[in-house]
A and B are shown apart, each in its own frame.
Chain A
Amino acid sequence: MAGADMIRPSRAWRFGAFSRRPPGPALGRLAVLIGLLLVVAVLSLCAGQHWLSPAEVLRALTGQGRESDALVINLLRLPRVVLALLAGGALGVAGLLLQTLVRNPLASPDLLGVGPGAAAAAVLFLAYGAGVVSPGWLPVAAIAGALSCGAAVYALAWKGGVTPLRLVLTGVAVASLASAVTTFVLVRGPANATLSAYVWLTGSVFGATWTDIARLAAWLAPLGIGMALLARHAAIAGLGDELAQGLGQRVEAMRALLLTLAVAMAGAAVSCTGPLAFTGLIAPHLARRLIGHSFGVAAWASAAIGGLLVMVADLSGRVLFAPRDLPAGIFVAALGAAFFVQLMIRARHRAD
């Protein structure tokens, strides 16, 4: 496929200095993906303790339905859906960015210590800080943990420059250290904090509020714009250091900038939902398989798939084991397991 693309003389729409390639099949697939996203979103608004028909949902959203329905939708279900979408999308994009930068399809934001760092900070906060300051500060603690772990990985991997390999190895080491801190607090901390910490550690969009969403959106908006501006540079960085340098990129500076973007994005998402492990690993994979390696479109697809994953996981957690409401993280992990088996089968085929 990629070969055929290269051989074909490049058609482009040109407007003076700007040029754009005409939309290919990738855009069509992206449209299908977004359609799917909408369907699942509506479905998650309908499903719950009692089922509302799509028409009722629509009426509630436009303020014409029964008041109780409007309350359920606006206060309970819609925030969950929106949070799942935002967090999943951010994790998806961050994952794609990291996999591109490290040039390895097995990388994920957790690799830079985002998940473990946020978890350690959150657990510390739940154990020792929750009584002192308002629990509303939890996301702030989590994002501080994520960012400082990311910074530590980068600083420790720096030796006149950062190579993807050293970044990976340092990331694994720092992540283990952060997990050790988490374990330590869980074992030694006050017992009542342990359970809430454990639920947080699994990751869920349960109890999402509009304040959470506003805060997350405020974080993600500038990061998303930065991402859109830098998409081309990210694609170039993915070609490898030498090629990127040859194309005139300031490799180290751009890598630092893009890594910061990825960590901040994933950290913001994780701080609101807890580490939804594997969203940032799976979504980029599926996106690339669906779209190919064009970074810009793949980033949108990865965001959509990430949102879709978390939404489906949340929906399953609510519906499959009703009346229990299981954290979405459980289902993301289950999906991760299935994905893994499939990845292994593919790797096996390639080796043979």
Chain B
Amino acid sequence: MNTARIHPGVWLLLAAALWVALALASLCTGPLRIAPGTVIDALLNHDPTIAEHVVVTTTRLSRLVIATLVGAALAVAGALMQAMTRNPLASPGLFGVNAGAVLAIVLVTLYVALPPTALITGAAFGGAALAGTAVHLLGNARHAGPTRLVLAGAATTALCVAITQAILVVDQESLDNILFWLAGSTAARDMREVLGLAPVLCLGLLGAMLLAPHLDVLAAGDQVAAGLGQRMGRIKAATGLAVVCLAGAAVSMAGSIGFVGLIVPHLARRLVSPRHGWLLPACALFGAVLLVAADVLARATGGTQELPIGVLTTAVGVPVFIVMLRRGRHGRG
């Protein structure tokens, strides 16, 4: 109750401050420990002859950027999906959007030798859009409760995963290359690829912000929204497009990372505000903080062989989800 009195802006500032601290920690940790002073030096007066400076601005910075962007994108995508379906369990991970993108990427990498980044990204968008549409069509029967949509998501995810697995069994050579990436990882990505994807992702974020006031109206229910003169079809289509942009870009950057899109919007709604004007930026910041923290943790605990970050977010996300479930209202259905 007390938390409700803190102004939403304060939360945003707090989250931003936390992100800065974690970002610094992220640049310092790794197989080679680098002092915070050196990190700041590397960023401000970069000297390419010093090895540590190069490490900071190449591998570590790209990881930080990926973790930040992917976390923000997945969290906002989750919030958008929850608003669009009015289902508190909607998220790119549970609703098969991530798995669809992964399947599409695996297909492309198998059948096109050395595919250009643009093709991989395009495939990810296509897969995300297809899987999302499938879940929507399967799950949205009239009078259907949240169970049907969740099951449709689970079934679609299972289908995509089964097909992905089958492909990898048939074509065993690519298995090793793709496996780590399947688990969701921020490692070993080229900065140029990341920067190529960033515009799409930022466009998705921007679109989400523009949609925020409409989503508030949508949350009141289809009939109210229609009564208030909202063009629901267009708003929903635009929201879907934003989700595809965000989730597709996130998956092609870092593979499938679960539970960020589910947990973060709930947390943000409870702490900050249910109004999308505040909620979406809060989701973006919280998501970025969560993923950067997970990334630091994965590196700090893993030693030379690091933990795939997707495994870490699931390990943290599932207990939170179950607690949410046991407390929440949907238990009584």
Contacts and interface: CB of A to CB of B under 8 A. Distances in A.
A176 B318 contact: yes
A8 to B, nearest CB: 29
Contact of A348 (B137, B146, B180, B311): B137
B145 to A, nearest CB: 7
Contact of B311 (A183, A194, A337): A183
Interface string B123-137: 000000000001001
A156 B327 CA distance: 12
B305 A188 contact: yes
B297 interface: no
Interface stretch (B63-71, B147-155, B276-284): B147-155
B101 to A, nearest CB: 16
Contacts of B33: none
Contacts of B259: 176
Given A184-B311, A330-B169, A337-B159, A156 B182 contact: no
Interface residues of A, number: 56
A189 to B, nearest CB: 10
B260 to A, nearest CB: 12
- Which one of A172, A199, A337 has the highest number of Cβ atoms from chain B below 10 Å of its Cβ? A172
B179 A330 contact: no
Given A173-B325, A333-B166, A337-B163, A351 B318 contact: no
A104 B162 contact: no
B169 A168 contact: no
A57 interface: no
Nearest to A199: B169
B332 A163 contact: yes
Contacts of B179: 186-187, 194
A177 B94 CA distance: 12
A106 interface: yes
Contacts of A343: 138
Interface string B198-230: 000000000000000000000000000000000
B134 A344 contact: yes
B159 A336 contact: yes
Interface in A238-255: none
A168 B258 contact: no
Given A172-B154, A344-B138, A180 B314 contact: yes
Contacts of B315: 177, 180
Contacts of B37: none
A183 B310 contact: yes
Contact of B325 (A164, A170, A175): A170
Interface stretch (A26-34, A48-56, A74-82, A107-115): A107-115
Contacts of B151: 104, 106-107, 111, 168
B58 interface: no
Contacts of A176: 93-94, 258-259, 314, 317-318
Nearest to B168: A198
B330 interface: yes
- Which one of B148, B169, B308 has the highest number of Cβ atoms from chain A below 10 Å of its Cβ? B169
Contacts of B148: 104, 106
A163 B162 contact: no
Contacts of B165: 198, 201-202, 329, 333
Given A110-B158, A329-B166, A183 B138 contact: no
Interface in B139-181: 140-142, 145-148, 150-152, 154-156, 158-159, 161-163, 165-166, 168-170, 172, 175-176, 179-180
A20 interface: no
Contacts of A330: 166, 169-170
B137 A344 contact: yes
B192 interface: no
B191 to A, nearest CB: 24
Contacts of A344: 134, 137-138
SS class, residues of chain A in contact with chain B: helix
B163 A333 contact: yes
A202 B331 contact: no
A202 B169 contact: yes
Interface string B250-269: 00000000110000000000
B176 A163 contact: no
B175 A180 contact: no
Nearest to B330: A165
Contacts of B175: 194-195, 198
B25 interface: no
A293 interface: no
A350 B141 contact: yes
Contact of B94 (A107, A108, A172): A172
A198 B331 CA distance: 36
A108 B157 CA distance: 13
Interface in B34-90: 89
B330 A183 contact: no
A288 B2 CA distance: 53
A331 B10 CA distance: 54
Contacts of B93: 176
Contacts of A106: 138, 148, 151-152, 154-155
A137 interface: no
A278 B162 contact: yes
- Which one of B151, B175, B182 has the highest number of Cβ atoms from chain A below 10 Å of its Cβ? B151
16 contacts: A111-B151, A165-B145, A166-B325, A170-B322, A173-B322, A180-B258, A184-B183, A184-B308, A187-B179, A187-B311, A188-B307, A329-B162, A334-B166, A340-B138, A347-B137, A350-B142
Which 8 residue pairs across A and B have the least CB separation, nearest first?
A106-B151, A165-B333, A180-B314, A330-B166, A333-B162, A177-B318, A277-B162, A183-B183
Interface of A: 102, 104, 106-108, 110-111, 156, 159, 163-166, 168-170, 172-177, 179-181, 183-184, 186-188, 191, 194-195, 198-199, 201-202, 277-278, 281, 326-327, 329-330, 332-334, 336-337, 340, 343-344, 347-348, 350-351
Given A102-B147, A172-B94, A180-B318, 8 more contacts: A104-B148, A166-B326, A166-B330, A177-B314, A180-B311, A180-B315, A336-B159, A344-B138
